[in-house]
Structure 1
Amino acid sequence: MPALTEHRNSEILIELNPKLAIYPLSTPQDAHQFIQVQENLRSERNTTNELFVNVTPKNDNYFKIFRIDLNKATEISLKNSGDLQLKTNPIKIKNYCWLGLRYENNEQLNMFSENHLPTSLYKMLLAFAGSLSTYCQQWQSSLLDPLTQLFTRNELKIQIAKLQKRKQKFVVILINPNDFKQINKQYGRKAGDSILIEIANRLKISFAEHTLISRYGAAQFAVVLPFFATERNDDLAQCQKYTEQLTINLSQANFLNNTCSIAFNFGLSLNLNTMSTDITLQTLLLRAEQALDVAKLKGQNISVVWHKALVSQCKEKVDKLQGIFTTSESKDYRNMLLLWDVMSMVSVATEQKVLATNFIERLLATFAVKNIYLFLEASNDNAALIIGRQAQKQSKVDLLPSHSITEPQLALVDKCRSKISNVEIVFDENNQSSPLYAYAFPFIAQGSYIGCLYVDGSEDSLLINIGEVLLLDALTSQLSAAFERLFLQTTLKRNQELEQLRLQQELKELRSAIQFSNLVYCSIQMEALVNKIQKVAVTDATVLIVGETGTGKELLTHTLHKLSSRADKPFVLIDCGAIPDALIESELFGHVKGAFTGAEQRNLGRIIDAIGGTLVLDEIGEIPLDVQSKLLRFVQEKQITPIGGGKTQVLDVRIIAATNRNLAKEVSAGRFRADLYYRLNAVEIHVPPLRERSQDILYLIKHFMTKFSVQYHKEKLQLSPSAATAALSYHWPGNVRELQHKVMQAVIFSEGNILSPHNLALDIDGINPPKTHHNYVNTMIDQNMDTSHIKVSSEKGNIMTEQLSDTISIHTLWQQLEQQLSQQISAITENTPIVPIPLGSWLNDDLILIAYQVSNHISRQAASLLSIPESTFRRKLQKAENKKQAGLAPRPKNWSELTSLLTQLIKLDIDMIKKSKIQLLSQIKLRIPDNVSLTAQLMAVSEPTLRKLVSS
């Protein structure tokens, strides 16, 4: 074994119990050196002498004791019988356990004589012999590699640290035989071990006796050589001399009995800073490893001295297993543990932020970094900081780029993004005590850059070698896949939530449609009415419904009840106009037995039947004045007293009243109590007559045609254009009830499949025929009606568009559209009476249908053309197609010119719905500036919505 330095020998003795010194020896030279150390210790400890006992167990009752006096040794063979033999011989050492016992005087030494040796001491030494030998073998194995008998890596580090502490200049040389894995594979591991022993022996004979030589790990060796020159150039010359000597002694000789030749590479790291300890042991060895990595890349029998410029060179093509398996067992364990922890994080991660935070914390526990940041790409293609940490801070902090990240750091991140590969830089600024090494590792998912990991630190703490670079590459690769997976999961979850919200909205609309399934309408007026009903239905407010006969007041009372919280409670409808005046009080409030002539039985009254539910007083205007006073108390206090009774009963009832009379005029005429009117009129709902909502006429005809065709087993019927014109021009004094009866009669007596004005029994002579804008052509109102008025061309299967002439500008098209809208409005306002046409609804529906066809029925593209959300487009498309299927698609004869302009503008302009609506409103205001009601009907919006549109 190589001789230890005197200081190291002293350390080994001092580290143990001062009364007991154990040291491994294998040669006489070691023993003499050991004796010299002991002599030095003796003088330091002021002891008179030392007794050194070599304990070598041969059996249970025999051991040897050597008494050593510097130049000679007395061998004492002691047997269990107590026979003591003294011999003076040269030292012949075959064992490696020395037990040193200190004594202060000769009296203590005489204890080992024949007469004074206690049996107890003998037994103690005998008992300790086996355990001490075992311990020393284990201790020796921690100092020496069992195969080569060279120092281990740990002992090498201890020796280098001592050299640094003494400010000594030296060079660390790492030696690596090329392709040693292939040698093991070809010759076998036993032969490989033999080659390693040969290399170790050649290293021993290549240098002086006290040279520090180590098996660095696996097939790598390390040699530490001192410098004696004063100039750096002389140091490099000595390095060159050392490597030439090594190359000669190692590479020019064959191994395994001249059957195997091996080339070597050398990596050198110089410790020249003898005035400070800024270059740590870790940095020194790391530099040697990096230099060796570069030497491997350059060829065989190459030596490289470390310098800053070669750091990037060592990252080229290298076996990626080096990222996990190194020549250091501690690093291997650390790397494997780090990889395992990261894989565990990835497997359970559910959020990007949490995974990034855990990853950063784990790296902080492994590498001595100063700053560490993790970036992921934001939607605007900029680096978004997910988590950041600065080592000088004691607690974790999430940092914003503008707060802590410097411009050079961001520049490195941008460089990593542009190159999509590892990048590094050295910040050697004047205000820093040592250079700052910075690295950026990209996150790559499916070939695309999605972010990066940034780390930096001082040269001594973070200077990483190729193996660690490859390890971080592997970790960022795993993180990339995890971040991509979590992003997709988050996107999917968000899309599912949006889809769920959309489905919930559709379900809400469907439920609303089911609740209003008895209300057949498509006009803006009825839509506003229904919205009002929905709001008031959920309250307990008293409602007064007014409207002409046949407008559907009773149907609205049922709707109010179904939408209220009392939907599962009683619904009681009392037709006040059908009850004789003499009986109405008894019918409402009840009576006791004998209250009047003929009152033979007790009657509770109809009101009491509605407890907890809804009470509808239809035709409230028909109640006599003398009953109105008693009704007033009920409406006010919800209390009733039967006729002839004295007990008052409080009822929980929702009150709805309906009438076709103008109660305000009835109050003025003295036929209705004012106080009752105001009590009933808490919320008034006015049902417009059919003539004021012409949009619903054809829709209702279609509905009743279908209903009665099924009911009376008739074939599918269609409405002729002339009948449609007559229906739109008829004033419908009986409103929906009259229309229903006329359609029922027409279906019953129809003989063909087309209904004419005569079938509908409309008074043709009393109808004012409309002008051109009502002259519908080639139109049959049926469920299969197409949108032939929308002309969209198709060419070679591409997107359905009309080719614009290059000479036509968007401005010209808008001017033409303005003229078309002006003509439509003029045609409407010239009629007497004016029949409002929902131009705004037509424009909106046509834009939706045109965009859908132009986009090859792809909703996302169509929504993009119109600059509206896809969910909004789908909802509008559904409504437009429902109107088309319901037979509400007929347009005036000259409407096709307008749709042609819309088709061209959709291709060239954006935000068409909003712009066309503004264009239409401006044209309407030019011709009828003061008629808000008519303007709202033409725009197909409610008056409040119109006011908002005008103000905006």
Structure 2
Amino acid sequence: MITTAFLNQYLENICRLARAQRASLFLTGFAENLLQHSADEPALAELADEAHAASTLAELTADLCENGSLMKPAASGCGLLVVVSIGADHGVATQVVTERRNFVPSRLGETETHLMIGLGYARPEDVPAFGDNGLVEPLSQADWILSIIVSSGGPLSMNWELSRILKHPVTGLAGRVELERVLPLIVHSAQESGQPVSLMFVNPDHFEQVNHRFGRPQGDLAVRELASLLRASLRESDLLFHYSGAIFAIVLPATDEEGARSAANKVRSAVADRLFIDGVLPLTVSIGVSGTENGSVSDTTELIRRTDSALNMAKLAGGARTVLWQENSPPHLPGPIDRGSAIFTADAIKDYRNMSLLWELMSGLATQREISVIARELTSRIAKAFRLELVALYSALHQEPDSLTEEPLLLSACRYMPEHDTILNEPVVRAEKPVAMVRQVRETGEQIVHREENRITEGVLPMVARDDLIGFIYLENGPEATLDNKDMDFLAALVAQVAMSLDRAELLNRWMKQQQEESKKLREEVRELRQAVKQIRLVYQSAAMETLMQRVQKIALSDATVLITGESGTGKEMLGHAIHDLSDRRQRPFVTVDCGAISPGLVEAELFGRVKGAFTGADTATDGYIQQAHGGTLFLDEIGELPIEVQTRLLRFVQEKTVTPVGSSSSVKVDVRIIAATNRDLLEEVKFGGFRSDLYYRLQVVTLESPPLRDRSEDILPLANFFVEKFSLSYQKPELHLAPETRDFLQTYHWPGNVRELQNTMLRAVLMSDGPEIRIADLDIESRAARPAAAQEEVKLPGVLAASMERRDLWRELTLALEAVLDECAQQTLPMGRWLTEALLITANEISDGVTRRGATVLGMAESTFRRQVAKSLRSRELEHGKRPEGWEAVESVSAEIVREQAKVRLPAQQNLVVRTRDILLAVVDELVGSQYARGAALMDVTTPTYKSWLERLESAGGR
């Protein structure tokens, strides 16, 4: 590599051969021109500076001879100018140029390289003589001068370009490759002459913070300024190199270690006295020094390692100091001082291998989060790249720090197969020796390297991330492997990078596991909320209901007693469900008590429970509704219907939250939230003595008024559309929608029955409609409103049900009849599901004259199922004869008509009639009991899980 000393020597030789006093050199044709003088002053005025030199060269190149050379006297008469056209094609040098970052391909062949030498003489007569033309045919002295310059110009230009390429782009200094080439030559020469050589590494402290604070361009400026300062602080014989990053290497020939220490302190003082980056940044430097004094070091690689170790010790000691390597110093302290020092060596083959391995691993592991994949990639790629007998990765991620006897966890093991140039995964490793070495590293935290006859045989490198020991990598040298110290340095640096990937993968796995747990919890909460919203089943968009629901959400968070008032059919029980489902009690029972439907003589026992023998017929002890609601919510519907004497006991419960069952002398503590509802004016009832004032004020801690539908007309159409969609799905009707005139009519109607009337009207319209639109006539509101009340009630009677034989009317009548029975027996738990199935089976059996095949065809059932269920139904009828409520007659009448209508078709039923009628009852029961699954299951006469599965199926079919 061309240095200032080399150029000076070249110019001195030219002066001596040409008998000149001074010489100057100007070399062009590259990205950076070279102008050098043999003395402090230029040899000629034409080469005073780069601008003059370029101008002179441009003039002379126009007159070049055919051989590309020119010699001309200087303007002063005391000098000679020699120009040589070297050309642009420099073989290997040109190939190197094409790989530079700033190289412009179009410059090849366009820019010619020229060398201009200026020779200065003391007197004009000392200048070599020329012919008459002054340019051509130089005489003998000038001839051989020109020959020397022409012959040396090509190598000089090639070396200059190579030198320029090898320079660090920021500092302009020679790099590490040049250091590792030059240092052995200097050490060898010094040893022959018996002189010492010292090496010094200089690194600014905390320089990474400079780049972070000021940015990379300002950081580069600081590095350039530091390089200039170091040049000025050194002797001419000292060599300055850019080693790596912000680390500089200084070779001090003929300097012992004490002299090097003195030079280092001089450098530190010069840096401390200087402000960098335009006078705003103070810096300190750490310096590591080692030398070849007394022949202690013959291997320059070891000299570099010792210097690097000394620099590490200086940094670890706090920086801003000089550390001289001593014999008792650790042979090498690994650290983050020079991450590139183990990657780039003077061996191009190793550099390519290291860079390829680093690139493959880092690009492959950048997004990888599977620890097993990371382990397999690391061991297999290292084994193949270094041809190792065995590479094993052990984990310490899930081990206790003090569990030194615990067996290390093997993550992956691979070995290189030279005969096949492939990798074999080792599921079982010869574990005794690797495990023993791993345990030793786990205790000390330091790497272990074993050698035999100066050859590395095996070693264990620790893997550290965030100051925690997370794993170990075991390396066993193979017969074809040539592991050396630099390879171990590289592997240590590589393992440090992979350790971060392993640590990141472990952290990511933990985070994802935590996220999955949180997501599971959130999904459960969302499911509960959806279930709550689903059970609330409130459809609204009016401001009145929005305000009401905001209050509901607020009071749901407390256990305050709530009194809900409003007209019949406005959804008071739905509001009660909403409060319960939005509260912390949503997983506990919601028990509804219709106070007006219980016999006055039984209401006390129904509410508070009874003990065995409390009264005639009390054969068993029974919990009352209050105890059944323990932990949940007790909804007292139509509380104004309670007898005064029961109100007294209820007041005591509201105050003390204890109940005393009928016939018992001991009380039971019950945790229940009370929500009461009424369509009466309780304050008026208090005035007339129909309701206790103290109970009234106890109940109305929070009062909610459910507005009538006529006062929230914005909700009419959303509710109507909701009911149309629901009933269309329930009864397998094609998609229906409201006609424009129907929408207008619904909004102008006064709805005396509120939401309940709207719901029944939409059910009737869905059943009666013939086309895709629901017309006003399908609503049948005007004709029903014109009938007297008594006539309207006749819809529950069998005679009225028999008036229409059309299938759609029968399904509608069945629904209404079932609702009537449930209203009639609201406080009883009747096995209506079994009763309805029995009615269908027995009717089908009767009209089929006992022929199983015909009866099964009518109901759409399998013959064996029909036969078995008919026999079971007949036995059940005999046992329960006379125990069914009077309203059940209407249900049996309608169900019988449905079976007879199907029998007239004389075709197999397209759907199992038992399942279809059961679904109608299921929908009616669901509307009544809501989340009281146990009660719903009892009404359907099935287990609770079966009841829930039926509801899920009904919902998936769109019938819920």
Tell me the TM-score normalized by structure 2.
0.35
Report the TM-score, using the length of structure 1 for normalisation.
0.36
